Structure 1
Amino acid sequence: MIEVGKVQTLKIERITAIGAYLSDGNDEMNAILLPEKEVPKTARVNDEMEVFVYRDSQDRFISTTRRPKIQLGEFAALKVVDITKVGAFLDWGLEKDLLLPYNEQTLKVQKGRDYLVNLYTDKSDRLCATMKIYPLLKVGSTHKVGEWVEGYVYQINPEIGAFVAIENLYHGLILMKDADSDIHCGEKVHARISEIRNDGKLILSPNKKAYKEIPNDAITILTKLNESQGFLPFNDKTDANIIKKELNMSKSSFKRAVGKLLKEKKIRITERGIEKNGR
C-alpha cells in the first residue's frame, strides 16, 4: 500500500516522456508519477526506487527522490517562508512548501522564524503541519534527574512557563521563574532535568551555574571583538534576536557575560556599543 507522507520503496511500472510511474506492485492502475527530471537516466521498468509521496500544487499525488525534513507523524522545527490568507507556509525541503493552517497555529507566527510542528493529513488527505504538539507527546521517559537533554520550545504560557518537546518525543516544562525573558517558540534549548513529576512529565532547568556559563559567553564576546577590530554595536537595548543570531546566546546570558568583562576591565561600554580596552 502506498503511504502518503512517507519515504517508501516503489517499483517502476512504466516510463513516459513526463516521467516514470511507480506503484507498490499491487495497484498498477493508480501508479504515481515521478517527474522526468528526477528519473535516473539508467532507470528501467521494474527497477525499485526510494521516494517520498505527497500532493503537488494541483493536489495530485506525486513522488520525489528528495528527502523532506519531516515525514507523517514526525516532529521538526521548520522555517516560515510565507504567510498568506490560508495560513503560513513552511520550508520542508520540497518544491511545494508545507501549509500550516491558521487553526493549527498556537500563536501568531513570524516569517523567517522556526517553529516546532507535527506532520499530519487533514480531512481531504492533504499533508499539513500543526503546532498543537501537547497531546502528541509522551510521558514515561527513562531520563533521570540531573541529566541534560535537548528539545524545542513549542508553547509559552506566561503563568506557567515554556513547554518543551524533549527529543521531539517527551513532555518537558521550564517554569516561568527559570525561563529567560527572551525565550520564544521554536527555540532549541539545552536544559537539565530538575524534577520528574508523578505524571511522568519532566521539569527542566536551563540555568547553568554562573561560574560555568559566563566564561564561555565572555570568550565568545571577546572573540567577536577581536574579529571586529575591537568594537561590537551591541548594548542593553539591542534586540534579543540580533544577539541570538550574532552571538548565539540569550540576552540574559549576554548581559551576565558583559558584566563579568566589565568587572575584569576587559571592555568598556559607550553609547555606540562595546569596546575592548587597549583597543
Structure 2
Amino acid sequence: MIEIGTTQTLRAARATQHGMFLENAEGDDVLLPRKFVPEGLEEGQEVEVFVYTDSEDWPIATTQRPFVERDQFALLQVKEVSGLGAWLDMGLDKDLLVPFSEQDKRLETGKYYPVYVYVDPETDRMVASARLRRHLDTEAVTVAEGEEVELFITGPSDLGVKAIINGKHEGLIFESDIFRPIHAGDRLKGYVKKVREDRKIDLSLQPEGYAKVEPNAEQILEALRKADGFLPLHDKSDPELIRQQLHMSKKTFKKAIGGLYKQGLIALSDSGIRLK
C-alpha cells in the first residue's frame, strides 16, 4: 500500500488520458494527474512525488512540495474557516483541515498557528491538530541533560518560549536564556539544560559550561571584523548593551573575551576590545 502523507520515489507505470499511474516496489499504484506529469516522463522512469488524498478520499500524487508531511510539526496559515473547522495552507492545491475537536481555541483566518500533522487512521485523510500536547510523549523522557537536540519553536509562555524537542517532548527556554530574537516556527539547534523530577524539560540555545565559549568567541571575532576591528564593549559594559549587540549574556561575553585574550587574538582596554 502506498503511504499517505509522505514524499516518495515511484516508477511511472502507465500513461492514461488523466495522467500517469505510478507504482511502488510492491505494485501498488497511484495517479499523478496530467498537470503534474513532468515533461518527458516515460514509463519505467522514476519520479519523486508527494501522496495525499483528493476531495473524494482517493490517493493522489503531486509534484508540488508541501510545507509539512505526516507526523511533523509546522507553523501554517489559516486560509478559511468552515463548518468543519479551519483550513490551513500546506503548499498544495488541497488545504489541510484542523477539525474543531483539535483546536484549543478557535483558529482565525489569516493567522499562523503551530500544528501537528498526521493521518487519521479511520479515514486515511491527512489532518492537523493544534492540540500539540496530545501528540507528544509526556511519560518517558528520551533526552538527557547536556544533550544537543532539534527544536521547533511553538510560541511564548509567561516564563519564556516553548519548544518541541526532537518532535517528541515539550520544553521551555527561559527568558533569561534568550539572547537573540526567536519566533514561532523557527527550527533551531538547542541543548537540554535540566530534566526536572516532574519530567518538565528546561532548554538552552547554547551548551553549558566551557563548551559554549568557542562558538561565542567566534561570534565576537566576526562582530569585530564587521566593526573594523573594534567594539566599545568590555567587562564593565551594561549587560543589556551586550545582549543587544551580541545576543549573549554578560557572563558568556566575559568568558569568551577571556579566552580570546589568552590566545592573543584581542587586546583589552577600558574603552572596549580590539582585534590584534
TM-score by length of 1: 0.61
Question: Which whole-Å CA distance do the structure 2 matches of 1:100 and 1:112 have between them?
Answer: 14
Aligned AA (2:136): L
Matches within 5 A, 1:101-250: 101-122=99-120, 123-138=122-137, 139-142=141-144, 144=146, 150-153=151-154, 163-166=162-165, 168-173=167-172, 186=184, 188=186, 195-204=194-203, 210-215=240-245
Gap change, CA 1:192 and 1:61, over 3 Å in 2: closer
The code of the aligned residue for 1:103 comes to: S
Deviations 1:41-97 (A, max 9, x none): 211112222111111123221101122111111111111121111111111111111
Change (3 A) 1:150 1:103: same
In the aligned structure 2, how far is the partner of 1:101 from the partner of 1:69?
19
Shift of 1:116: 1.5
Specify whether residues 151 and 39 from structure 1 end up closer, same or farther in structure 2 by C-alpha distance, changes over 3 A only.
Answer: closer
**Structure 2 runs not aligned, ≥5 long:** 206-238, 248-276
Q: In 2, are the aligned partners of 1:69 and 1:93 still within 8 Å (CA)?
A: yes
Aligned to 1:13: 13
Correspondence for 1:231: none
The CA deviation at 1:150 is 4.6
Distance 1:149 1:12 in 2: 36
Q: Give the drift of 1:168.
A: 4.0
Give the superposition deviation at 1:187: 6.1
Contact residue 144 and residue 195 of structure 2 kept, 8 A:
no
Q: Taking structure 1 as reference, are residues 154 and 86 closer, same or farther at Cα in structure 2, changes over 3 Å only?
A: farther
Output one character per residue of 1:121-170: Cα deviation in whole Å (capped at 9) or x when no partner. 2221111001222243353324529x8985322686x7x88643235443
Residue 19 of structure 1: how far off its partner (Å): 0.5
* Alpha-carbon contact 2:31-2:60 (below 8 Å) kept: yes
Deviation at 1:38, TM superposition (A): 1.4
CA contact (8 A) 1:76 1:168 kept: no
CA RMSD of aligned residues (A): 3.5
Q: Secondary structure at the match of 2:243?
A: helix
- Contact preservation (8 Å) 2:146, 2:191: no
Query: What is the Cα deviation at residue 109 of structure 1?
Result: 1.8
Map 1:41-80 to 2 at 5 A.
41-80=39-78
Match of residue 255 from structure 1:
none
* In structure 1, C-alpha distance between the alignment counterparts of 2:33 and 2:155, rounded to whole Å: 36
SS at match of 1:213: helix
Displacement of 1:22 in angstroms is 1.1
**Aligned partners of 1:106 and 1:155 also within 8 Å:** no
SS at match of 2:101: helix
Task: Tell me how far 1:11 sits from its aligned partner.
Answer: 1.6
What letter matches 2:171 in structure 1?
G
Q: Which residue of 2 aligns with 1:22?
A: 22
Asked if 1 retains the 8 angstrom alpha-carbon contact of 2:153 and 2:161, the reply is no
TM-score by length of 2: 0.62
The CA distance in 2 between the partners of 1:174 and 1:111, in whole Å, is: 29
Q: Is the 8 A contact 1:7 1:52 kept in 2?
A: yes
Deviation digits for residues 213-268 of structure 1 (CA, Å, limit 9, x no counterpart): 34479xxxxxxxxxxxxxxxxxxxxxxxxxxxxxxxxxxxxxxxxxxxxxxxxxxx
Shift in Å, 1:204: 4.6
Structure 1 residue aligned with 2:88: 90
Q: Does the CA-based 8 Å contact 2:145-2:193 persist in structure 1?
A: no
Q: Could you tell me whether the CA contact under 8 Å between 2:21 and 2:32 is conserved in 1? A: yes
State the match for 1:2 in structure 2.
2
CA distance in 2, matches of 1:192, 1:212: 22
Moved more, 187-196 or 87-96: 187-196
> Matched residue of 1:59: which SS?
coil
Structure 1 SS opposite 2:35:
helix
Could you list the per-position Cα deviations for residues 176-211 of structure 1 after superposition, in whole angstroms to 9, with x for gaps in the alignment? x9799xxxx9465988865331354322579xx523
